[in-house]
Amino acid sequence: MESLRIYNTLAREKQTFVPRRAGEVRMYVCGITVYDYCHIGHARLLVVFDLVQRWLRTLGYQVTYVRNITDVDDKIIRRAVENGETIKAVTDRYIAAMYEDADALGVGRPDIEPRATDYIPQMLGMIDTLVANGYAYQAKDGDVNYAVRKFARYGALSGKSLEDLRAGERVVANDAKQDPLDFVLWKQAKQGEPPECTWNSNYGPGRPGWHIECSAMGCALLGEHFDLHGGGQDLQFPHHENEIAQSEGATGQTFVNYWMHNGFVQIDNEKMSKSLGNFFTIREVLAKYDPEVVRFFLARAHYRSPINYSDVHLDDARAALTRLYTALTDVVPDGAPLDWSEAHAVRFREAMNDDINTPVAVAVLFELATEVNRTRDAQLARQLRALAGTLGLLGREPRAFLQQAAGARDAEGLDAAAIEAKIAERTAAKHAKNYAEADRIRGELLDAGVALEDKPGGLTEWRRV
């Protein structure tokens, strides 16, 4: 395999990616906690690691991609109680919504998608081992906690010292803990909680803490030591730090070789979050913008950089994607396979092998589009479509994209039939040499977001702008 370099959060540098088994990659990504509709921050996570697994497969690796679903959690329980419905009803509804959103964005399903509630025995087994190894204890309130100071490498991923953490605001006072830094592995059942979120254990009835879920599922499905672990930047601490402590405390070996974290989605340069109320659900965004535009908006930013969400940026992404599709409108790509030795493909590949550098890779696509517009070369058109395809882009027939209505923003309600009728009126006006009326109709359509292009032979094509 050729040299792929990724930024390893644990090492704080780009490193050559070398999987534990030649030609195989085992990859785990922390998925969604399903108590509400996914927001655009979740969309970034889904798209980023879809791009990563796509590129690994493009390089020829056999990938086992695991992305979990957290279906037991304080927020889920709270939502179920508020709604007066079962936890399963809540989680099933939002899992179905998550699939709808992910499918719309062209995000492929992971190879394995475990639900936390299916791995309770594995979680309890790991907790038993941690207790036996001296890393965990049952407190007087019944919770089982991880003794952070027992794990010498704690803080290696986040770069936080125990002294910094001890003084930090993240530490919540709890008299039952031996140390305020300790975190919960098993939560004692509380009065009034639904019985469906309670399991029997050696520590009494209860449910797992959030952190132990991913440790247990990752080790169970990919082995106790695997290649790549991903997630949002907000999970670096404490979630991923705690995963390392749990997993390595239980197994005695390295948990993960490479850690990848995608940057935040921001609104007005402030992190988007439900707690701040400055978030947009994926389905709210898709009501205004075509899903491929949203994917392109997310894909063209480097995955580690923060990204600002706004209608202005989405409009710009739409215009940019339109330019790529427009280059393919009158040139049919030849049927040959992607030529990786061609100059544009070489630069594209170099960019993607440099820590999944999609901004440079997308710039190569625009260079290709310029050449296609200039030369009308079918081979270059093939290269453009095929390279974009590795990013999950340009998969549609160009005119289908250019003429589709992305949502309420488009064309003041004019559908394709109404537009074609207006074009027919304009054609009739031109035949009658009523050029003023023909120009008026062209202007009316342009004001409504529809551009016309007269082709040889009297044909008029249209696209939305």
The answer, yes or no, to whether the previous bond of 238 is cis (omega within 30 of 0) is: yes
Domain ranges in the chain are 5-266, 310-402, 411-464
Between 194 and 170, whose confidence is greater?
194
Q: For residue 297, give the 3-state DSSP assignment.
A: helix
pLDDT digits (tens, 9 = 90+) for 317-337: 999 999 999 999 989 899 899
Give residue 415's pLDDT: 75
DSSP state for residue 115 in the 8-state scheme: B
pTM: 0.89
pLDDT digits (tens, 9 = 90+) for 355-368: 999 999 999 999 99
Instruction: Look at residues 51, 105, 46 and name the one whose alpha carbon lies nearest to residue 293.
Output: 105
String of DSSP letters for 336-357: PPP-TTSHHHHHHHHHHHBTS-
**Confidence check: pLDDT of 92 > 80:** yes
User: Cα(376)–Cα(333) distance, rounded to whole angstroms?
Assistant: 10
Looking at this protein, which amino acid is placed at residue 209?
A: G
Say if CB 109 and CB 63 are below 8 A apart.
Answer: no
Say if CB 213 and CB 30 are below 8 A apart.
Answer: no
**Confidence check: pLDDT of 232 > 90:** yes
- Report CA Rg, the chain: 26
Between 334 and 431, whose confidence is greater?
334
Element (H, E) at 293: helix 291-299
Instruction: Look at residues 364, 327, 369, 337 and name the one whose alpha carbon lies nearest to residue 349.
Output: 364
Say if CB 44 and CB 262 are below 8 A apart.
Answer: yes
% of the chain exceeding 90 in pLDDT: 76
Q: Please, which residues bridge with residue 146 across strands?
A: 136, 183
pLDDT band at 172; cut points 50, 70, 90: low
Say if CB 47 and CB 262 are below 8 A apart.
Answer: no
**Confidence check: pLDDT of 169 > 50:** no
pLDDT band at 429; cut points 50, 70, 90: confident
Residues 266, 7, 214: CA angle, nearest 5 degrees: 75
Place of tokens 């988007």: 272
* Fold of domain 5-266: Rossmann fold (3.40.50)
Give the lowest-confidence range in 54-58, 107-111, 359-363, 408-412. Answer: 408-412
Domain at 310-402: CATH code: 1.20.120.640
Say if CB 410 and CB 464 are below 8 A apart.
Answer: yes
Write out the two tokens for 376.
């009308």
**Confidence check: pLDDT of 174 > 90:** no
pLDDT digits (tens, 9 = 90+) for 435-448: 787 778 788 888 77
Instruction: Look at residues 278, 276, 282 and name the one whose alpha carbon lies nearest to residue 37.
Output: 282
Q: For residue 377, give the 3-state DSSP assignment.
A: coil
Element (H, E) at 464: strand 460-464
Element (H, E) at 6: strand 5-8
Write out the two tokens for 316.
């710009």
Burial of 388 (0-12, 13-18, 19+ CB in 10 A): buried
Domains 5-266 and 310-402 share a fold: no
Say if CB 266 and CB 308 are below 8 A apart.
Answer: yes
**Across the chain, what does the average pLDDT equal?**
91
Say if CB 10 and CB 230 are below 8 A apart.
Answer: no
pLDDT band at 459; cut points 50, 70, 90: confident
Residues flagged as binding site: 30, 214, 239, 243, 274
Buried b (16+ CB within 10 A) or exposed e, 96-118: ebbeebbebbbbeebeeebbbbe
Between 171 and 218, whose confidence is greater?
218
Residues flagged as binding site for Zn(2+): 30, 214, 239, 243
Q: No. of H helices and E strands in the chain? A: 16, 15
pLDDT band at 409; cut points 50, 70, 90: very low
Give residue 414's pLDDT: 72
Count of Cβ atoms closer than 10 Å to residue 149 Cβ: 12
Say if CB 352 and CB 55 are below 8 A apart.
Answer: yes
Write out the two tokens for 289.
């913008």
- For 41-94, list the strands marked E by DSSP: 62-70
Residues flagged as binding site for ATP: 274
- Mean pLDDT over 446-451 rounds to 81
